[in-house]
Amino acid sequence: MSAPIRIVVLNGPNTNLYGLDPNGPYGTLTIDDISERCRACAANLGATLEFRQSNHEGVLVDWLQAARTEADGIIINAGSLSYSSIAILDALSAAALPAIQVHVSNVFKRENFRHYSPLSSVVTGCIIGLGPEGYEMAVAALIARLKSS
């Protein structure tokens, strides 16, 4: 029997505030709720999942570098760093793993600066604007891709 697929979900600045403003663009689920749902989804599909959040760019870079040997795939919501971090772009590229970028809100209905994310150029795919459920979709899609390769 082969080892289970290992997924790491990395979350950037302010994602820890999800669910605190029910009228905001991110819905009512907290980051802990999303984590629990992602873990359950992964377990149901025979994978393990590590879910992490940091407001610090360097921590996210460290986690991306560690993923090279600790994970089979990455899901990333880099928060506001999605639009500005070349360090995260480089670390994600160097990880050389299948990766899915998640944006909880529809960035194309928001400010113009959110319409382009450099990270999108190095990920396998993007899930945009489907709310917290987008994380679970990313988990399922990434596991399916890893199982088929």
CATH number at residue 54: 3.40.50.9100
Distance of alpha carbon 120 from alpha carbon 130, whole angstroms: 17
- The binding site for substrate comprises 77, 90, 104-105, 114
The verdict on whether 26 is a catalytic residue reads yes
- What would the pLDDT profile of 49-79 be if each residue is shown by its tens digit? 999 999 999 999 999 999 999 999 999 999 9
What band does 109 get if pLDDT is binned at 50, 70 and 90? Answer: low
Greater pLDDT, 89 or 149? 89
What is the pLDDT, as a whole number, of residue 28? 85
Domain that holds residue 49: 5-148
Contact 18, 132 (CB under 8 A): yes
The verdict on whether 116 is a catalytic residue reads no
What is the pLDDT, as a whole number, of residue 23? 72
CA angle centred on 15, ends 136 and 73, rounded to 5°: 45
Closest-CA residue to 139 (of 17, 50, 66, 70): 50
Annotated catalytic residue: which of 56, 83, 103, 116? 103
Structurally, the chain folds into a number of domains equal to 1
CA angle centred on 11, ends 141 and 83, rounded to 5°: 95
What is the pLDDT, as a whole number, of residue 83? 86
What is the pLDDT, as a whole number, of residue 25? 67
